[in-house]
C-alpha cells in the first residue's frame, strides 16, 4: 500500500509534471505528495470540513483563472475579426 509521502521519493519528474508545476506549484506538490486519488477525494469533501478551506480556495482560484483564460481567448478572436474587417474596409476604399 502506498503511504502518504511515498510518491515524493521518486527522483525523476516527467515533462507533464513540469508543465503541471508551471501551472500551479501547489497543485503539483500536493499531487506528488498525496497522490491523485487522495486529492480527488478531498475535492469531493470540500463542503464537509473547515480545515479544507484552503483546498476550496485553490479550486475557486483555478476556476476563476480558467474563466479568465476563456474570456481572454474570446477577446483576442474579437480583436482579430475587427482588424480583418478594418483592413477589408480600407482595401475596398482604396479600390474605388
pTM over 0.75: no
Cell 502506498 locates to 2
The Cα 53–Cα 8 span in angstroms is: 24
**pLDDT tens profile 4-40:** 445 555 677 788 888 888 888 888 888 888 888 887 7
Whether the Cβ atoms of residue 78 and residue 65 lie closer than 8 Å to each other: no
Cell numbers standing for residue 9: 521519493
Amino acid at each position: 500500500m502506498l503511504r502518504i509521502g511515498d510518491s515524493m521519493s521518486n527522483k525523476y519528474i516527467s515533462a507533464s509534471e513540469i508543465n503541471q508545476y508551471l501551472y500551479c506549484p501547489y497543485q503539483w506538490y500536493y499531487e506528488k505528495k498525496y497522490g491523485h486519488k487522495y486529492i480527488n477525494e478531498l475535492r469531493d469533501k470540500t463542503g464537509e470540513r473547515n480545515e479544507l478551506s484552503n483546498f476550496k480556495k485553490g479550486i475557486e482560484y483555478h476556476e476563476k483563472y480558467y474563466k479568465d483564460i476563456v474570456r481572454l481567448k474570446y477577446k483576442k478572436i474579437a480583436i482579430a475579426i475587427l482588424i480583418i474587417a478594418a483592413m477589408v474596409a480600407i482595401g475596398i476604399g482604396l479600390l474605388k
